[in-house]
Amino acid sequence: MPNFSETELNVRQFTSADWNWFCNALKNHKPDSALASWSDKDISDLLHAFPEGQICVEVNGQPVAAALGLTVRYSIFAEQHTFEDIMNRLEKAHDSKKGDTYYCIETFIEPDYHDRALDERMYDAGKALCERLNLKGIFVGNRIQSYKEYQDSLSPRDYIDKVQKGELPEPLLWFQLSNNFHVKRILKDYLP
């Protein structure tokens, strides 16, 4: 695991210059991400629609983690929706400033930098963004990765309850819950 100090760590706005790194990182380490197949136009649209909602963490000047998002209307997206619905929202870039909630559509941390509190830095940056823009909060979608092993014996809600109690391992969900996020809804068929 690479060593670095606080002075070598920088949380900043994600820019188009970070796109090649991000795209390659997703293809190599998270190929099932819906964003792995994004075009340059897709990221350009996102950066144009809501530049301040794109977060990058760099160490020694190199990007190692990122969170991408946009604003949505809480009243619409608090209900059942799909990732495609969110992407359709992005196509209406001119409308993006009308949202009242930050919707994080993807996060990524280079494998060598896991367990270094970079995810916490990104969530803190998202929370600060919400405060600065007076947004209601953050939506974060999460695939419950290990649920498939328990799907015959537990409902998704029961599985989540066991994760909350520390009875089952699900690191990303556990991290989100420990950072004061709450499961609001289980979305069926969210990802393609």
- Digit-coded pLDDT (tens) for 119-142: 889 989 999 999 999 999 998 877
Asked whether residue 192 is assigned to any structural domain, the reply reads: no
Write out the residue range of the structural domain in which residue 22 sits.
6-141
Find the mean pLDDT for residues 8-36: 89
Pairing of strands 9-13, 55-59: antiparallel
Q: Check if the beta carbon of residue 138 is closer than 8 Å to that of residue 104.
A: yes
* Domain match, 64 and 13 both: yes
Bigger pLDDT: 71 or 92? 71
E-strand stretches of the chain:
9-13, 55-59, 62-72, 101-109, 138-140
Residue 47 CB contacts under 8 Å (≥ 6 apart), including other chains: 14, 15, 16, 54
Residues 41 and 48: their CA atoms lie apart, in Å, by 10
The span from the first CA to the last CA of the chain, in angstroms, equals 34
pLDDT tens by residue, 133-178: 999 999 887 778 888 899 999 999 999 999 989 899 888 788 788 8
- pLDDT of the residue at 105: 87
Q: Check if the beta carbon of residue 13 is closer than 8 Å to that of residue 51.
A: yes
* Domain match, 14 and 104 both: yes
Asked whether residue 103 is assigned to any structural domain, the reply reads: yes
Residues 67 and 17: their CA atoms lie apart, in Å, by 15
* Domain match, 87 and 30 both: yes
CATH number where 69 lies: 3.40.630.30
User: What domain count does the chain have?
Assistant: 2
Asked whether residue 159 is assigned to any structural domain, the reply reads: yes
* Domain match, 55 and 148 both: no
Query: How much is the CA Rg of the chain, to the nearest whole Å?
Result: 17
* Domain match, 20 and 105 both: yes
Residues 87 and 94: their CA atoms lie apart, in Å, by 14
Residues 93 and 87: their CA atoms lie apart, in Å, by 10
* Domain match, 93 and 163 both: no
